[in-house]
Amino acid sequence: DAMVIQNPRYQVTQFGKPVTLSCSQTLNHNVMYWYQQKSSQAPKLLFHYYDKDFNNEADTPDNFQSRRPNTSFCFLDIRSPGLGDAAMYLCATSAPGQTYEQYFGPGTRLTVT
Amino acid sequence: RKEVEQDPGPFNVPEGATVAFNCTYSNSASQSFFWYRQDCRKEPKLLMSVYSSGNEDGRFTAQLNRASQYISLLIRDSKLSDSATYLCVVNMGAAGNKLTFGGGTRVLVKP
């Protein structure tokens, strides 16, 4: 089945220790998104890739970076995680020009100790 | 004013009852509208798109009112498994298919 996969599902990192979360998709969608979701809040868009074009949200901290080496994979790098970065990180994909729907992966729950 | 606003609830619903709730959006140029369902500690999953003429999918009915800038979701014959947070999601016409999420409406269906 075509899908969005995120690894790992749970990640524990230490304060200040860089961490990378990964997302892959078999949907062949050209847009990929990273969201941060904290408890009882709506998902907050961090950035997205339209093909290879990177689009950062204005309020996304510099601490968050992303890479998209090919259509299928996208990575979220947190250079120096703080306690406030503990959250669920959701990857999503979409295919513009169709129905604008986004399809989410299962998320990675990040804990910062 | 938030771009997409929802009543956070919770809506406590007896099993078998009908529940309905709305979502308002601020941008009259918004193009696409969706309801997503999110279970606790899980990812959002698309429940249904919302079309101008209104649409129904089994026990779920979605309506769009462009004049008043709101969408609604109605759940008939509520099941225990309908307990979840329902996210109102709007494409406001921004480039890259960006979606704007409401804060969610929590629904608790009780026996």
Question: Could you say which of A41, A55, A104 has the minimum Cβ distance to residue B44?
Answer: A104
Is the CB of residue B102 less than 8 Å away from at least one CB of chain A?
yes
Strands (E), B1-111: 4-6, 11-14, 19-25, 32-38, 45-50, 55-57, 60-65, 70-75, 84-91, 99-101, 105-110
In angstroms, the CA B12 to CA A57 distance is 36
Strands (E), chain A: 4-7, 10-13, 19-25, 31-37, 44-50, 53-56, 64-67, 73-78, 87-94, 103-104, 108-112
Which residues from B are below 8 Å from A96, CB to CB?
Answer: 96-97
Render pLDDT for A90-111 as a digit per residue (tens, 0 to 9). 999 998 666 678 999 999 999 9
Residues 6+ apart with CB under 8 A from A17: A80, A81
Render pLDDT for B19-69 as a digit per residue (tens, 0 to 9). 999 999 998 888 889 999 999 999 999 999 998 888 999 999 999 999 999
The alpha-carbon gap from A76 to the nearest alpha carbon of chain B, in Å, equals: 17
The alpha-carbon gap from B64 to the nearest alpha carbon of chain A, in Å, equals: 16
In the block, which residue shows the tokens 């709506």?
A42
What number is the average pLDDT over the span A31-51? 93
